[in-house]
């Protein structure tokens, strides 16, 4: 089975049931109206407040785009890039590409023009689908891409150098194209987050995609009664692969544009969402808004919300304890994965293991996991080593990069670059990224451990620990500390708080500043190193 067959099945079994909803809070005319009332208000094309699509409409739109691509000469094995903000068109475009046998190539909406050019060249992209937010960037690079033959624009005011997706698909057949695909065919190229330079292209087969559906549904038990609120960007494996559980169960999903705490809680209430995947900063912001009184829970319908899960980064145990005090009836799970392992799920905590908060968990459904030393032998006890995983979602390779592939793929095992350890019950705990370990005076410091400790301080909103060069010790630990709105702190105050840690683990420098995170919630430590290391070290203020 390939993943497009699930869409076709749902279109036959539940043709008139809603598959996807798009909410755009930025366009709401009156906060007192419900989303359904918003949808009845006249608005310009593309500016509706609530849009929805049934399973039949979803499949038809995917078929129409697939047939449009075929009329333009797209064939099995070609690469079609998608550069769109989260919207109702995103997933029909993605599935339309897969129905042709071509490879879908989602792109990060934060890419600069140079990064768009680089990734399009690396992936041999011949078609690009893009939205209005990217017109200037695409216009500046498309002539530099000789393989790029077709550009489709989603939205009104179509630029002269592109064709209108919305207009052209209306003339195409709604029948599924007769292109045979199986699990061993290539399906998609995703890009790494580019933390060590320009992104690498990650090649996956249809087997990876369909296995992700099975893993997600097994972990979180989606039924047709569930409603999944999708907030993270769809270009990333995390958001889409969690939605795959809804695809497998034939249940509704809501795509929310914007990440304000009030917008999230309002969407949960009005769309009757039962499952929400959050990132650490969003969960913190929601709790802070509740504490400030900006969100009054009694104003919303939240009883149906059964599961909150978090992925993409280490989760502070203090955050989950705080969450459970506010939402005691919620199930909780954390999910670990990489784009190289087709997103989340190769390791997960499991809703039944709330007593192990702080761990990333145990091997996921259909997955194996080991922790090994540099020589490949398995660690013993609570010894720290590199986490490696094996399963049907492991990438085929880094496209056109055999050297990088050989570094991380060995005998079917994916070397994650994450340092981890196991407890006596077999639960895995992330210690840190291999490349983020700080060596100070011969001692290994794991920034995540220091960050988790500092987050226990009620004044700290976010924190990142990096290594700074030091002539005597080689490196010292520096904590970039972001203080909560309306609060102040001093360097002496933070140092006093750290006195409970062993002396060698305490940060040697406290920097009060914003902690940058990427769209999937990961701390952008390369950016912080660029700002604060060497000659670029900024003398930061000691109060806020």
In the chain, the domains with their CATH numbers are 3-258 (3.40.50.12780), 307-433 (2.30.38.10), 437-536 (3.30.300.30)
| Euclidean distance between CA atoms 544 and 161, whole angstroms | 48
Cβ proximity of 195 and 526 under 8 Å: yes
CA–CA gap between residue 389 and residue 369 (Å, rounded): 4
Residues 274, 247 contacting (CB under 8 angstroms)? no
Give the separation between CA 341 and CA 390, rounded to whole angstroms: 9
Q: For residue range 252-290, list pLDDT tens digits in order.
A: 999 998 889 999 999 999 999 999 999 887 898 899 999
What is the Cα–Cα distance from 55 to 20, expressed in whole angstroms?
Answer: 8
Portion of the chain with pLDDT greater than 90, in percent: 69
The counts of H helices and E strands in the chain are 16, 27
Tokens at residue 317, please? 């145990």
Q: Is residue 299 within a helix (H) or strand (E), and if so which, with residue range?
A: none
Contact 370, 380 (CB under 8 A): no
Give 47-79 as a 3 state SS string.
CCCEEEEEHHHHHHHHHHHHHHHHHCCCCCCCE
| Residue of higher predicted confidence among 102 and 485 | 102
Mean pLDDT of the chain: 89
pLDDT, tens only, 395-430: 999 999 999 999 999 999 999 988 899 999 999 998
Q: How many whole angstroms separate alpha carbon 278 and alpha carbon 283?
A: 6
- CA geometry: angle at 498 spanning 492 and 504, to 5°? 115
For 453-508, the pLDDT digits (tens) are: 898 898 999 999 998 887 667 788 999 999 998 899 999 999 999 998 878 789 99
pTM of the model: 0.83
CB 320 within 8 A of CB 351: no
How far apart, in whole angstroms, are the C-alpha atoms of residue 204 and residue 98? 12
* Pairwise pLDDT comparison (405 vs 115), residue with the higher score: 405
Measured distance CA(200)–CA(232) in Å, rounded? 21
CA–CA separation, 123 and 125 (whole Å): 5
Q: Is the pLDDT score of 10 beyond 60?
A: yes
Cα gap 528→518, rounded to integer Å = 12
Identify any residues that bridge with 50 across adjacent strands, giving them in sequence order.
23
């Amino acid at each position: 089975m390939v993943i497009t067959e699930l869409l076709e099945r749902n279109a036959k079994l539940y043709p008139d049931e809603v598959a996807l909803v798009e909410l755009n809070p930025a366009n709401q005319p009156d906060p007192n109206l419900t989303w359904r009332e918003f949808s009845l208000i006249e608005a310009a094309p593309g500016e509706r407040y609530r849009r929805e699509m049934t399973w039949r409409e979803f499949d038809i739109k995917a078929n129409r785009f697939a047939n449009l691509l075929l009329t333009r000469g797209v064939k099995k094995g070609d690469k079609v890039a998608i550069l769109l903000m989260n919207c109702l068109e995103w997933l029909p475009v993605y599935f339309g590409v897969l129905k042709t046998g071509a490879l879908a190539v989602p792109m990060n909406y934060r890419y600069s023009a140079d990064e768009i050019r680089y990734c399009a060249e690396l992936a041999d992209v011949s078609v690009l689908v893009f939205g209005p937010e990217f017109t200037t960037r695409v216009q500046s690079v498309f002539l530099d891409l000789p393989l790029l033959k077709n550009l489709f624009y989603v939205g009104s005011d179509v630029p002269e150098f592109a064709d209108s997706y919305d207009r052209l698909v209306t003339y195409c057949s709604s029948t599924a194209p007769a292109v045979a695909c199986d699990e061993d065919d290539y399906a998609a190229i995703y890009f790494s987050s580019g933390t060590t330079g320009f992104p690498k292209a990650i090649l996956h087969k249809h087997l990876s995609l369909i296995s992700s559906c099975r893993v997600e549904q097994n972990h979180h038990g989606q039924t047709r009664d569930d409603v999944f609120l999708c907030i993270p960007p769809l270009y990333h494996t995390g958001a889409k692969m969690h939605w795959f559980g809804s695809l497998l169960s034939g249940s509704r999903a809501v795509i929310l544009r914007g990440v304000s705490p009030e917008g999230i809680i309002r969407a949960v209430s009005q769309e009757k969402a039962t499952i929400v995947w959050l990132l650490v900063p969003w969960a913190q912001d929601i709790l802070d808004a509740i504490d400030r009184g900006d969100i009054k829970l009694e104003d919303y319908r939240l009883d149906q919300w059964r599961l909150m899960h978090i992925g993409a980064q280490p989760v502070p145990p203090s955050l989950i304890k705080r969450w459970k005090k506010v939402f005691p009836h919620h199930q909780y799970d954390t999910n670990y994965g990489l784009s190289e392992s087709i997103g989340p799920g190769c390791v997960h905590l499991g809703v039944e293991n709330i007593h192990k908060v702080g761990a990333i968990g145990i091997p996921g459904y259909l997955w194996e996991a080991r922790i090994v030393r540099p020589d490949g032998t398995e660690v013993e006890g609570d010894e720290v080593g590199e986490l490696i995983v094996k399963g049907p979602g492991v990438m085929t390779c880094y496209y056109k990069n055999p050297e990088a592939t050989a570094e991380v793929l060995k005998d079917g095992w994916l070397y994650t670059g994450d340092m981890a350890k196991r407890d006596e019950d077999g639960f895995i705990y992330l210690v840190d990224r291999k490349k983020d370990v700080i060596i100070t005076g011969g001692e290994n410091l794991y920034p995540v451990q220091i960050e988790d400790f500092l987050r226990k301080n009620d004044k700290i909103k976010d924190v990142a620990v990096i290594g700074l060069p030091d002539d005597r010790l080689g490196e010292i630990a520096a904590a970039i500390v972001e203080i909560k709105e309306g609060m102040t702190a001093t360097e002496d105050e933070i140092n006093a708080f750290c006195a409970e840690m062993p002396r060698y683990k305490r940060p040697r420098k406290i920097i009060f500043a914003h902690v940058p995170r990427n769209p999937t919630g990961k701390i952008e430590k390369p950016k912080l190193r660029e700002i604060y290391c060497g000659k670029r070290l900024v003398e930061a203020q000691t109060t806020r």
